[in-house]
Structure 1
Amino acid sequence: MIVCVTLNSCLDKTLVVPEWQPGDLVRGKSVREVVGGKGNNVARALKRLGRSARPATFLGGPVGRHCAELLRRDDGFDAIAVPTQSETREILTVLTEGTPNQTAFFDPDPAVTPREAEQFADEIEKALAGREVLALTLSGSSPSPATHGLFSDLISLARARRIPVFLDTYGPALDAIWGFWPMALQLNRKEAAGRLRKTEVSDGDVLGLLADWSRHGVTCGVVTDGPRAVLAQIRDKRYRVIPPSIKVVNPIGSGDSLLAGLVDGWLNQLDPEAMLRRAVACAVSNALVWDAGAVNPDEVDRLADEIVVEPIG
């Protein structure tokens, strides 16, 4: 079992519409709902890879109850859902039919209370106490000040039980990490720039950041850059990982799928280069379909052979 934490879940609606312009009255052709949030996508990708995963998140109000039902009915998950007074946010993605063009509209983040954050930590501690938990993933943004330190607390709880932690976050939640650091840490290039308080970063900046993480005890550090090369450091070895060129259907969820591939590769005890190939292959497989986290295991195996891993001296 892998516990997959999301602090800022949402009800993600995709509305398919004909070609339109701002100001038009547009009638949708179809609508689909899924529970969004990076950790939920990680759980879906892990399930596709044959792993048992359990999402954990905050859910509030009628929208939150609907999300809990979707996770159970559509995804087949036994989720850990901590209730909040604030309603779970909604995201409306408008997809123009027959094109890759999409625009997303986000509700404001919910206000999680300190008591709700404390209850969440208690629920995760209970889950980690079970012997069946093999890893903990922590993904996405922190919605409110009460949750900014939660990832740091959960890393400490997991490390005390020798459970590997895979972290993919940025901003206040990453700034709050101190003392115990995760086993694996993943950012994209924009988030790495924010971490370094820069607008853009060079490869040298990224490699310096990876080295800094390593000094803090991070065994596996990864910085992605969309369809471009991934830079990674595993222990004292550094790598450039080059994905194949593809026709992208939807890139959303590719980073989450990459994290799922890292977890799966780590638990399978793959060597560093094989683990990076598998992780990036998961990201590429995700980008070839619309649904976030819907990786194809057979395609992942095929794509892994097309990925180039170059050691960096």
Structure 2
Amino acid sequence: MPLLTINLNPAVDTVCRVKSFNTHHVNRAYEVVKTAGGKGNNVARIARSAGEEVYSLCFLGGASGAWIAKQLTESGIYPVSVEVGEDTRTCIAVVDERDNSVTELLEPGPVISQEQQNRLLDKLLDLLRSKTFDCITLSGSLPKGLTNEWLDQLFAELCSHDIPFIVDTSDSRVLDLLHHKPTVIKPNVQELESWMGTAIREENDMIQAGYDLCRKGAKAAVVSRGEKGLLAIRKECIYKVSVPKVNPVSTVGAGDALVAGLALGFINQLPWPEILRKSAGFGTAATLSYTTGRIDSGSLPSLVNQVTIKKIQPV
């Protein structure tokens, strides 16, 4: 049951743990962990650890890009990449041990030429012809250079197949692509606020924003709310998902674990409530691991069982 993850702006993710992080001072990390990252590759690793066959479609460049391809391969993931001239970016997350707060520094990534965009689309078409995928995800920021016309072509292709397609990106251009009808768009509250141009504080505001995304064409909007769980808005119904209380060690990558849980739910053809239960459990389990793209598998079954789901009548 293969999963295809599309990661247009991958990165070498570097998590540095410090005893105490102070601005305007020298900070020394006592632990540094590097992973083949970008949100799509985090999704890929979690799905692979759950036993799925996973392909990762990426732009990769330079020594850092080669390192990512090697790491993915060693993890049992099949990288399918288009080479770009610039090095793949590095993203740094500093975890302060005092309160487990996270400070991130994200490089923008390479500029992608029209030729490179066309080559990636060709590789996508080859994959879709040669494999039968059970789910497709597109995660993370969009690199510089991608044209609106190319993105429209990409979404048109991905939504033309009878395959669940999950979108998780903060780029506002995705709003103009929802008419292609992706299966799920997964914003967090901050992304919703940015897209809607207004503060969103009340639950009903989130629901109305989710309905707006559905009116634009998304079949479902799944809003991640951190420790408050999820809201899943569909035209037919709304689900409020509550997660168990835990003592998180890092929230970096929790949203990617959530997407992986959604994908696995679709792959296994679960009903919506169970898809959301799995997704919320995966997202919570990820907060118990220091490494992005990894979940605490030992606690996962218990966490999934503790997720509660309430169906809300449409407003």
Whether contact under 8 Å (1:112, 1:147) holds in the other structure is no
Q: 1:204-283 counterparts in 2 under 5 A?
A: 204-283=204-283
Q: Relative to structure 1, is the Cα distance of residues 120 and 276 closer, same or farther in structure 2, using a 3 angstrom cutoff?
A: same
Distance 1:68 1:248 in 2: 30
Q: Distance in 2 between matches of 1:21 and 1:240?
A: 38
Residue 222 of structure 1 deviates from its aligned partner by 0.4
- Identity over the aligned pairs, expressed in percent? 25
**Tell me, what secondary structure is at the counterpart of 1:79?**
strand
Tell me the amino acid that sits aligned with residue 123 of structure 1: K
Stretch moving more, 83-92 or 153-162: 153-162
Q: CA shift at 1:216, angstroms? A: 4.4
Question: CA-atom RMSD, angstroms?
Answer: 2.3
Relative to structure 1, is the Cα distance of residues 85 and 148 closer, same or farther in structure 2, using a 3 angstrom cutoff?
farther
C-alpha displacement of 1:240? 0.9
CA distance in 2, matches of 1:289, 1:185: 25
Structure 1: give runs of 5+ residues left out of the alignment. none
Within 5 A, what are the aligned runs for 1:179-218?
Answer: 179-218=179-218
User: Is 1:123 aligned to 2:123, yes or no?
Assistant: yes
Contact 2:8 2:143 in 1 (8 A): yes
Matched letter for residue 193 of structure 2: A
The structural deviation recorded for 1:150 is 4.8
Residue 11 of structure 1 aligns to which amino acid in structure 2?
A: V
Segment drifting more, 283-292 vs 89-98: 89-98
SS in 2 for 1:227: helix
Superposed CA offset, 1:20-72 (max 9, x none): 64455555444322122111111111112221111111111222222222222
**Does the 8 A contact of 1:48 with 1:296 survive in 2?**
no
| Alignment correspondent of 2:44 | 43
Number of matched pairs: 312
> Cα deviation per residue 1:150-207 (whole Å; 9 max; x = unaligned)?
5543332133232221111122441341541201111101111111111335322321
Q: Which has the higher mean CA deviation after the structures are superposed, 106-115 or 52-61?
A: 106-115
Shift of 1:229: 3.3
The answer to whether 1:2 aligns with 2:6 is: no
Query: Distance in 2 between the 1:202 and 1:212 partners?
Result: 16
Match of 1:68 in 2: 69
Q: CA deviation at 1:215?
A: 3.6
Classify 1:132/1:46 alpha carbon distance in 2 versus 1 (closer, same or farther; 3 Å).
same
Name the CA shift for 1:307/1:212 in 2 (closer, same or farther; >3 Å): same
CA distance in 2, matches of 1:51, 1:173: 31
2:303 is paired with a residue of what secondary structure? helix
* Deviation of 1:234 (Å): 3.9
Aligned twin of 1:139: 139
Provide the rounded CA distance (Å) in 2 between the counterparts of 1:110 and 1:268. 36
Matched, 1:156 2:147: no
TM-score by length of 2: 0.90
Larger displacement relative to structure 2 (193-202 or 76-85): 193-202
Change (3 A) 1:205 1:64: same
Partners of 1:198 and 1:291 in 2: CA distance: 33
Name the SS of the counterpart of 2:299 in structure 1.
helix
